[in-house]
Structure 1
Amino acid sequence: MIGATVAVGGLGVGSSVAQDEGDGDDGVDSPYTAVYRDTIDSVVLVTVAGPRGRGGLGSGFVIDEQHVVTNDHVVSSATDDGVELQFNTEEWRTASIVGTDPYSDLAVLRVENMPDAASGLSIVDREPAIGQEVLALGNPFGLDASISQGIVSGVDRVLPSPSGFSIPAAIQTDAPVNPGNSGGPLVSLEGEVFGVVFAGAGQAIGFAISPRLANRVLPALIEDGTYEHPYMGVAVQPVGPEIADAVGLEDATGVLVVEVVPDAPAADVLEPAIPGQPSSGDVIVAIDGQQVQNQAQLLSYLALETAPGDTVALTVVRSGDEQSVEVTLDSRPESQLPQTPIGPER
């Protein structure tokens, strides 16, 4: 469900400003200008040479002396020639791909000789507040070193992923986000990173990969080149009033298990609904004592609080009775689902 955006004064939510080399500081006392000056040297244009000339471009940002973060779909078509980065100082560097994760759409690049002006931006380990002002930095449509302003319109969104699995816990913003912005930082007025911009949703609103998810995935990509996501092996759908009444729930809450993957961790533990029989199937109403009201909450808990090998306690309603079952999570297998077409941006 997409939340409504909100208009505010000043520049106005959804305003966009592209800065030139001189960034026009003639006596301007603006918090946006201050953040821009403090962060833009750490934001890069990512250029990819793909097979048969089908490359792409996007954005990225520096997180330490050697590493740059971007989206996996920005660099997924890269060849052995590597990835070219252009910094705001007009310096170019060739980067190598350290690790990629299509499930979170994150990637890490290594730069051996980082420009002196570029310093690591700090990714917070908390969700931003809804209504908080944020700035998206990057290269929309290849327009380098651009800034757009908006607010956090929502949190805990679920995004489509190139892998076929969903990306949980995403940040929604009304700051203008366009092709080329993907991989750039969504920052607060203090210059802290609140997410990695994701411009692949094809909507008139923007999204960013959660900072909490990024902080779990990125260290593993730097260390091992990959990240192991927890996997339960179920498909679920929201519980509406009709299903709630059929299974004996007082309120329409939780998620109905509609499919259990054979040989998955949840096989022989959870019971899927039988088509045409609304009273059948388990309804998950809590995980490890945390209430589950919808799919987004279940996905976020699994992504942010668990790891492969963990055993989770699920509270389910089965045939009108509430009971507790345990599932030991595994590592997510390669997706067998049709992939979402988010290919390299141009």
Structure 2
Amino acid sequence: MDGSRRQFLAAAGAGLASLAGCTAPEGDPSVAGLDAPDDQPFAELYEAASPSVVRLRVYDSRGVLAEGSGWLYDDGVLVTNAHVVAGGETVRAQFANGDWVTAELLGSDPYSDLAALAVEPPMDATPLPLLDEQPRVGTRVAAAGAPLGLEGSLTTGVVSGVNRTISSVRNFTISGAIQTDAAVNPGNSGGPLLTLEGTVAGVITQAGGENIGFAVSSALTERVIPELVETGSYQHSYLGVRILPVTPLLADANGLDDARGVYLAAVPAGSPADGVLQGGTETVSVGGSPQPTGGDVIVALDGTTIDTTGQLGTYLALETSPGDTVGVTVIRDGEEQTVEVTLGTRPDPR
């Protein structure tokens, strides 16, 4: 990384903030609302970050199996999506200078759709830092990678939503995902969603529709990737319950004051919650719609309010580990009480 690139990644945020508050002097030819020639934050971002973003090509015995993107997380470690490298025998990475190098799979986690690869990067490729807090909705971001195999691409937008619960390409639930309107296409998978400061807000994982893309959060990435590098796998906390969101109709059926919390539809035998938490037992009709009743409604974990299924998943993913004992506050038979559950390990998806 040369001196100018270091200076950009360290100081771009402050510089952009000051530019945003400036007014053009009289006689300035720039048009209001458009960037002046010397105010091109996305161009500067691309120049600074592109040496650390790669195009990936994955091969099996029949030839090219998949293509995707990745980025340099640490010295010699690339991050991408698990679904990009799944089933591959050989992975090659193309850096911004055009060179192709062989990458070795260190580990992958289908539940978070993250994978770590070992690689020898060129001298100008340096690790991209992870954002250390959740981005605000409206934060300007850019998706870098190789959509449709077009290496060195950058699309721009904003953070459209946070704390999204999405289904991965393999139909596993990922909590705390980042939503963006930056264009995301096949081949972007595994690339970084970058802030203007050059930090990674998330790992692009899929498109959800027109102007809707999703990224695995930086917080989950920071938990998973070091374990993949060290051990080749990652163990997720497991409560072992089947859940439903609390809708107004479900709240009416269960005598709840508010439509908030997470309803336990079932507690399978042998799960960590078996014998501690209570699943639904009956069904009643509310306004002509069948609604389950009799199950616990989770409203807090270790004192942290849980209003939605997404909040439950995010707390378990980011704040707990297998073997932890958590205090689960539930509404049961109209009364609030707290019980303790020792978390297990999420079963092997195979």
TM-score, normalisation: structure 1: 0.86
Q: Secondary structure at the match of 1:309?
A: coil
Of the three residues 179, 196, 200, the one matched with 1:172 is: 179
Of the three residues 97, 114, 123, the one matched with 1:116 is: 123
What are the equivalent positions in structure 2 for 1:1-346 lying under 5 Å apart? 29-53=39-63, 55-79=65-89, 82-111=90-119, 113-199=120-206, 201=208, 204-277=211-284, 278-335=292-349
Between stretches 238-247 and 316-325, larger displacement belongs to 238-247
Q: Which has the larger radius of gyration?
A: 2
Letter of the structure 2 residue corresponding to residue 101 of structure 1: D
Answer whether contact 1:279 1:319 (CA < 8 A) is retained: no
CA drift at 1:94: 0.2
Answer whether contact 1:51 1:77 (CA < 8 A) is retained: no
CA drift at 1:161: 2.3
Write out per-residue CA displacement over residues 173-204 of structure 1, whole angstroms, 9 at most, x where no aligned residue. Answer: 00000000000000111111100011254664
Answer whether contact 1:136 1:184 (CA < 8 A) is retained: yes
**Structure 1: unaligned runs, 5 residues or longer:** 1-9, 11-26, 337-346
CA drift at 1:57: 0.2
Answer whether contact 1:164 1:335 (CA < 8 A) is retained: no
CA drift at 1:50: 2.4
CA drift at 1:126: 1.2
- The count of residues paired between Structure 1 and Structure 2 equals 309
Higher RCO structure (Cα 8 Å, ≥6 apart): 1
Between stretches 305-314 and 44-53, larger displacement belongs to 44-53
Cα separation, 1, equivalents of 2:268 and 2:64:
36
Write out per-residue CA displacement over residues 246-295 of structure 1, whole angstroms, 9 at most, x where no aligned residue. Answer: 32221111011012122110111111112424331111111111111110
Cα separation, 1, equivalents of 2:51 and 2:170:
32
Between stretches 175-184 and 271-280, larger displacement belongs to 271-280
TM-score, normalisation: structure 2: 0.85
CA drift at 1:77: 1.9
Letter of the structure 1 residue corresponding to residue 260 of structure 2: T
**Structure 2: unaligned runs, 5 residues or longer:** 1-19, 21-36, 285-291
Cα separation, 2, equivalents of 1:214 and 1:185:
11
Letter of the structure 2 residue corresponding to residue 229 of structure 1: H
Letter of the structure 2 residue corresponding to residue 53 of structure 1: G
CA drift at 1:241: 1.6
CA drift at 1:172: 0.1
Q: What percentage of aligned pairs have identical amino acids? A: 48
CA drift at 1:162: 4.4
Letter of the structure 2 residue corresponding to residue 189 of structure 1: L
Answer whether contact 1:57 1:74 (CA < 8 A) is retained: yes
Between stretches 173-182 and 327-336, larger displacement belongs to 327-336
Letter of the structure 2 residue corresponding to residue 35 of structure 1: L
CA drift at 1:54: 5.5
Cα separation, 1, equivalents of 2:315 and 2:172:
15
Q: Secondary structure at the match of 1:130?
A: coil
Letter of the structure 2 residue corresponding to residue 211 of structure 1: S
Cα separation, 2, equivalents of 1:71 and 1:259:
32
Answer whether contact 2:161 2:178 (CA < 8 A) is retained: yes
Answer whether contact 1:96 1:109 (CA < 8 A) is retained: yes
Greater strand content: 2
Between stretches 260-269 and 134-143, larger displacement belongs to 260-269
Write out per-residue CA displacement over residues 107-162 of structure 1, whole angstroms, 9 at most, x where no aligned residue. Answer: 00001x32111111001221101101001000111111000000000000011124
Are residues 243 and 29 of structure 1, via their aligned partners in 2, closer, same or farther at CA, if it must alter by over 3 Å? closer
Letter of the structure 1 residue corresponding to residue 116 of structure 2: V
Letter of the structure 1 residue corresponding to residue 156 of structure 2: Q
Answer whether contact 2:140 2:196 (CA < 8 A) is retained: yes
